[in-house]
Structure 1
C-alpha cells in the first residue's frame, strides 16, 4: 500500500472525528470584519493552537498590536500562531501559512442554513472567476516561465470534478493549466457590495445622487498595493472625470445617462 493510500485509509477510518472537529471550527464566528467578534477570532486561534499541541506540536501566540477603527477607537489585533511539528534537523522543513478568520455571513444573505452551523447536504459538507479589464494590470504579475508552466501539467486536477464541486455547467477556461493559473497566479477582482442604490421592495426609477461600490483586488507575486492603486486603478478612474472629453465619449459609446455625475471622492 502506497503512502497516499495509507493516508486516505486513515482519513476514512477517522472521518467522524474530523467532521466533528470541523463543525467546532465552523461554529466559531471568527469574522475579522466585525470588531464585536474580535474575541471569537482569539478563541479560534486558541482552539487551533490546542489542536496543534494535540498532535504533538508546540505553539506560541504572538501579539502584533492594535487596530484603529473608523471611529478612532482601538482594539487588539488577533494574535498570530507560530506552530511547530517535529524537530529533526535531518529532515526538510515545510512552512505552512494560513488564516483562521472568515468572511461576514448571515442567513439573510441568501444562505439555505445558518452559515456558522455545519450541515450535510447531498453527501457534501456545507458552510459558508474571469479577467480584470483594467489595461496593463497584468503587466505587474511575475512573468510565466517554462519551468512553472511545466509544473501545472503535472498536477492531478480533474476539470469535470472541479466544475461539479463549484456547481458550474461551463468553466471560464477550457484547460487545466488555464484554470489553475487563474486561481493561483493571476489577480482577481471581487465586488463585495453596492451602497446607495434602491434595494427595497417595489420599484423606484429615481437615479441616486451617489452610489458607492466595494471591491477588492487579490494581489499576486510582484504586485504591490501602491502600484495597483496609483498606476492602474486611480488612473483608470481619472479617465472617467466628468470634465474630460474621454468621459463623454465613453458615455456616448455605452449609451449611459449623460447627466450622471461621478464623485471624485474616494
Structure 2
C-alpha cells in the first residue's frame, strides 16, 4: 500500500474508517448472502424480489432516492407465470457542478445447495482463513455491498461525496437479464442522460495478488442443433439396426464443429478476426499471470497452448467454440437401452471484436445444413440461434480508466494490469451504445473465488481493500 504521506487527508480518513468498520461491512454482506435470491428457480422468485426491495431499503436509509421499475412477468415451461424482479434505480446527489457516475450490479445469484458439494451452508456467510464463503459473496453481492460501504464511509466521516452517484441494480442477471437492455434504452434520455462515466464490478482479477482493470469482453452466440428421428422413443432391441438414429446424426454433426486442438471448423467464422499485433503480444507477456498455476487450478495435464501469451490471447482475443451438452439423451445413472426420438445438441461460440453475431449465425446454420445433407439422412434437422451478445472493447486512454488506475495504486501501491475477459457481460456494450460514455469493469474479487461454483467466496482482504478502491475511485474521478 502507498504510504500515508502520498495520500490526501480525505483518503487517509476514508481508509481508516473502512478498516475500523470492516466487521460491520462483513455483517452487511452476511445479511445479503442470507437472502436466497436465486432468479432461475420458481420457489425462490419471492426471495429474489425481496432481495431487491431489501437493498432498496438499505439505500433509502442512506438518503438515496429510489425507484422500482416493473419489467413485467415471464412464463415458465409448465405454463406458470411469475412476476420478474423489478429493476432498482437509485440516485445520490444532483449537483450540476459535479461529475455523475452510474454503477451497475446484480442482486440475484446462481442456485446452490449443500448437497451440491458445498462445505458450508451456501446461504450463511462463513469466514475461514480470511475467506468469506457464501453464494453471491463475490458474484455480485460483495461488490454491490462495497458501494454501500463507501457511502457509509463518506457520510460517517463528513467528507463531501465528490460526485453524483446513480445505480442500476437488477435481479435477473443470472437468468439472462430479461428486460434490462430495453430498460436501459428507454432510460437513455432521462435517468442516464447526464451520466459521465459507467462502472461495473462483476468480474475478477486475473490472479490472486495483482489487481487489474478490464477493457474487453468476448461476445457469445449460442445454438441448439435438433435432430428428430421418430414419433416416440424406441427400444434398441426392437428397432436398433433398422432406423437412422437421431443421436448418430447429431454426434456426426457436433464432431465437425471443433477439433481436439480447439480449431473452429466452420468456414468463414475466423475471417473477420483481427490479427494479433506485436505490441499486443508484448503486453500479454508483461501481465502478471502464471499459466502453470492456471493449468494446475484447472486440474489438467496439458493446455491447448504452452506459452503465457498464447493462452491469454486464446482466452481473450480469439473466438472459441464449446460444446455444452445434449438434451434428450439418457444421462442418468445405470443403463438404459433407449433410442431417443429427438436430441438437441447445445454449443456456443465466444465472439471477439470485429465479428458480427448475425453473420456468424448464418455461417453456422449454413454449414450444419450442408453437413447434414452429406449424411443422406431421412431425419429432420433444425438449427436454432438461442441468444447472442456482441463483443466489447474499450478505449483505456480516458479519465475513467485513469481514475481507476490511481485508485488501485493508492490502495495496493501497484499499477493494475489491463486485461480482457473471455466471458460476456452484454449490458456493458448496451451502456456504452446508449450513453456514449466510457464503461469500465473494475473487479475486486480474485481469480479463485469460484463464482457459480461450490464454495464461492471472496477474500476478506479483497472485500475490504476493494471497498477502499471504490472510495478512492470516485475521489479521483472528481479530480479529472
Q: TM-score, normalised by structure 1?
A: 0.65
Structure-1 residue corresponding to 2:98: 91
Do residues 238 (structure 1) and 369 (structure 2) align? yes
Return the alpha-carbon distance in structure 1 between the equivalents of residues 103 and 314 of structure 2: 20
Give the superposition deviation at 1:80.
0.5
Partner deviation per Cα, 1:212-234 (whole Å, 9 max, x = no partner): 555666677777765554443x3
Instruction: Report what 2:57 is aligned to.
Output: 50
RMSD (Å) for aligned C-alpha atoms: 4.5
Please give the alpha-carbon distance, in whole angstroms, between the structure 2 residues aligned to 1:9 and 1:186. Answer: 43
What's 1:112 paired with?
A: 119
Task: Show the counterpart of 1:199.
Answer: 332
1:124 deviates by 1.0
Distance 1:191 1:31, change over 3 A: farther
Write out per-residue CA displacement over residues 41-99 of structure 1, whole angstroms, 9 at most, x where no aligned residue: 11111122122223332111010112122233322111010111211111111111122
Q: Retained in 1: the 8 A contact 2:264–2:321? A: no
Quote the Cα distance in structure 2 between the aligned partners of 1:103 and 1:44: 14
Contact 1:140 1:223 in 2 (8 A): yes
**Partner Cα separation in structure 1 for residue 96 and residue 275 of structure 2:** 34
Q: Distance in 1 between matches of 2:313 and 2:133?
A: 23
Gap change, CA 1:145 and 1:219, over 3 Å in 2: closer
- In structure 2, stretches of 5+ residues that fail to align are 136-217, 219-261, 384-480
Deviations 1:209-265 (A, max 9, x none): 365555666677777765554443x34543552x415x9xxxxxxxxxxx9x98735
Kept in 2: contact 1:197–1:208 (CA 8 A) = no
Pair 120,36 (structure 1): closer, same or farther in 2 beyond 3 Å: same
- Structure 1: where are the runs of 5+ without partners? 248-258
Is the CA contact (8 Å cut-off) linking 2:330 and 2:336 kept in structure 1? no
Report the Cα distance in structure 2 between the residues aligned to 1:14 and 1:188, rounded to whole angstroms: 44
1:67/1:168 Cα in 2 relative to 1: closer, same or farther (>3 Å)? same
Aligned CA distance change for structure 1 residues 213 and 244 (closer, same or farther; 3 Å): closer
In structure 2, the residue matched to 1:264 is: 381
**Greater RCO structure (CA 8 Å; 6+ sep):** 2
Asked if 1:103 is matched to 2:233, the reply is: no
Which residue, 297, 308, 311 being the options, matches 1:174? Answer: 308
Q: CA deviation at 1:115?
A: 2.1
TM-score normalised according to structure 2 size: 0.40
Q: Distance in 1 between matches of 2:27 and 2:313?
A: 31
Where do 1:1-266 residues align within 5 Å? 1=4, 2=7, 6-128=13-135, 133=264, 135=266, 158-159=288-289, 167=297, 174=308, 179=312, 182=315, 195=327, 196-200=329-333, 204=335, 209=340, 212=344, 226-227=358-359, 229-232=361-364, 234-238=365-369, 240-241=371-372, 243-244=373-374, 264-265=381-382
Q: Measure how far apart 1:16 and its partner are.
A: 0.9
* Displacement after TM superposition at 1:193 (Å): 5.7
Where is the strand percentage greater, Structure 1 or Structure 2? 2
Aligned residues: 241
Q: Deviations along 1:179-227, whole A, 9 cap, x unmatched?
A: 59946x7777777665534332x6x485863655556666777777655
User: Contact 1:120 / 1:126 at 8 angstroms: preserved in 2?
Assistant: yes
> C-alpha separation between the residues in 2 aligned to 1:239 and 1:77?
40
User: Matches of 1:7 and 1:90 in 2, distance apart?
Assistant: 23
SS at match of 1:91: coil
Counterpart CA distance in 2 for 1:158 and 1:22 is: 30
CA offsets per residue over residues 12-58 of structure 1, 9 Å max, x none? 22211111111111121111211222111111111221222233321
Q: SS at the partner of 1:159?
A: coil
Note closer, same or farther for the CA distance 1:82–1:125 as it changes in structure 2 (3 Å cut).
Answer: same
